[in-house]
Amino acid sequence: MTADLPAPDGPCWVHNDYRPGNILVEDGKITGLIDFESARGGSADRDFTKVSHYVWNPDPATRPAFLAGYAEIRPVPDFERTLTLYQLHNALGGVAWCVRRTDTSDPFFHENLAVLKRLTARGGH
């Protein structure tokens, strides 16, 4: 499996929470990002986990514009080959966070559990 993964893109600062509420848009262009609470150093590939789930999956038309804007700042990593790994890591973290809080009734728990089930069924596809 690891032979299928590209070399990590990084280290760099990873926002770790690209989703609609944290992406500021004006006149159809991204003008800023907020909420750096989850930011940390790591592989840039990780940043594509939440933007894929919360932005591209509901509205696939946003993907080309996001990637074009991202490419203006830095090279786009080969995230297609690492996305499943980081989705699995993110979903496990979400489930664990709810379990630590002893709140498995939280919709966030069920959202992440559904991702885990999807990724582990039929090899993640």
Q: What is the pLDDT of residue 101?
A: 94
Structure pTM? 0.79
Q: Round to whole Å and give the CA distance between 106 and 95.
A: 10
Residue 123: is its pLDDT beyond 70?
Answer: no
Asked if residue 124 has pLDDT above 60, the reply is no
Residue 78: closest CA among 1, 32, 10: 10
Residue 101 shares a structural domain with residue 67: no
The encoded tokens of residue 88 equal 């699995």
103 and 66 together in one domain: no
Are 112 and 98 in contact, with CB atoms under 8 Å apart?
yes
Tokens representing residue 72 in the block: 């203006």
* 70 and 88 together in one domain: no
Per-residue pLDDT of 1-59, as tens digits, reads 456 778 777 788 889 888 889 988 889 777 888 999 989 998 888 889 988 988 899 99
Judge whether 73 lies within some domain. yes
Q: Which domain covers residue 108, as residue numbers?
A: 82-125
